[in-house]
Amino acid sequence: MNAPHRPSILSRPRLKDGGRANVENFDSEWAAEEARRAAKTRRAAAVEERMDHACYATHEERRQAWGPAQREAAQLAAARADALAAADGREAAWLAQPQTVVLDTQRPWNAASSTYYMPREVEEAAHRRGQQAAADVNRHTAQLRAVQKVQQRAAEQDALRRDYEAEVRGYRAVVLRAAVLRVV
């Protein structure tokens, strides 16, 4: 089997500026290192200043820092109160609409739409009836299983009794033959 021809890596065309994309020189490396060092120094200074204000702040500085936090907390509380009021308004508007009562209160889960309204008491009563029906079915099934188990045990005992009686009859027949053979 012949392998497909692959041109040699040595016969590839040479690029004019091949490999100059990652050329380093002292000036560019020094500038990049200085920029990294300056950024690190700025971050360290900012952290130190923040820690100094947190640990050694005067009462006036603390009061100035506390003001924006208090305003933000007040804005959040107002937004939360507005959201709760809007939710209460939507719920009140929904409750003010005329409600359709489910006709089949025995089985409300068979309703054609999920938008039907049913009073809580009716729904709880239907739920209790459903639970009671399920419990009745379970109780009936357990009773049937108990009856089947008793019948099966009785059938097994009857089969054992018949086998025993057959063995006794067979033994008696053998003993009787032996007695007859001795007599003869």
pLDDT tens-digit readout, 9-55: 778 777 766 666 666 788 888 999 999 999 999 999 999 998 888 88
In this model, does residue 184 exceed pLDDT 90? no
d(CA 48, CA 176): 116
Confidence of residue 139 (pLDDT cuts 50, 70, 90): very high
Q: Which range among 109-123, 137-151, 161-175 shows the weakest confidence by mean pLDDT? A: 109-123
Q: What is the pLDDT of residues 68-106, one digit of tens each?
A: 889 999 999 999 999 999 999 999 988 888 766 556 666
d(CA 86, CA 93): 10
Quote the DSSP letter at residue 101: B
Residue 135's pLDDT is what? 96
User: What rounded mean pLDDT belongs to the chain?
Assistant: 84
How many helices and strands, by DSSP H and E, does the chain display?
Answer: 3, 0
Predicted TM-score (pTM) of the model is: 0.32
Half-sphere exposure for 24 (CA within 13 Å, toward CB): 6
Residue 39's pLDDT is what? 97
Residue 173's pLDDT is what? 81
d(CA 116, CA 108): 9
Sign of CA dihedral 51, 57, 61, 63: positive
In this model, does residue 151 exceed pLDDT 90? yes
Confidence of residue 174 (pLDDT cuts 50, 70, 90): confident
